[in-house]
Amino acid sequence: MAQRLMMTVLVFAMVVACGCESQPADTEQVRLGQRDWTLELATDEASIRRGLMDRQEIPTGTGMLFVFKTQKVHQFWMANCLIDIDVLFIDGQGRIASMHRMKAESPCSPTESVSAYEQRMKMYSSRIPVRFAIELPAGSIDAMGVRAGQSVSLDTDRLK
C-alpha cells in the first residue's frame, strides 16, 4: 500500500513538473491590419526584460504583447536577439504611437564586456508615452501597411 501511494505521488509530481514546462504562455488575440495575431503576454518585469531574446524564429501570425504598468516613454534594444523584429508602440487608447524595424545585433564577443555589449546596442524609442508594445516577425509592418495613429484592436481597459 505504501509503495503504491509513493508511486502515485511520484507520477503526479512528474506530470505536474512536465506540464509546467510545456504549458503555453498566456496569450492575447489581436487584429492588426487584415490578420489575427496570437501574441504571448509579457506583463511582469522579468518577461518584459526577456521579451523575444534567444528566439531563432517568430512563427507567422505570432509575436509578443508587452503590457507596461505605467504609460511613459519606453525604449527597446536587441540584446541577445538572434533575428530581426518589428515593434509597434501603442498608447493607452490603442493607437500606434511609433514603430520600428529592429535589426539583430552581432552577439557579445568573448573579449567584450557585458557593459560594452549593452552600450553598443541601438535604442528604439516609443518617442511619446505608451502603455503597450507589440513585437512581430520582421517584415510585418510593411506586409500589413500599418501606420502611426492607426488603432489596434486591444482591450486596453482589461489589459491595464
pLDDT digits (tens, 9 = 90+) for 65-108: 999 999 999 999 999 999 999 999 999 999 999 999 999 999 99
Contact between 81 and 135 under an 8 Å Cβ cutoff? The reply is no
Ramachandran assignment for 124, one of left (phi > 0), alpha (psi -120 to 50 degrees), beta (any other): beta
Percent of the chain past pLDDT 90, that is, above it, reads 75
Contact between 66 and 133 under an 8 Å Cβ cutoff? The reply is yes
CA–CA distance, 138 with 143 (Å, rounded to integer)? 10
- Give me the residue label for grid cell 519606453: 74
DSSP H or E run through 42: strand 35-42
pTM: 0.81
pLDDT digits (tens, 9 = 90+) for 11-62: 333 333 344 333 345 999 998 888 899 999 999 999 999 999 999 999 999 9
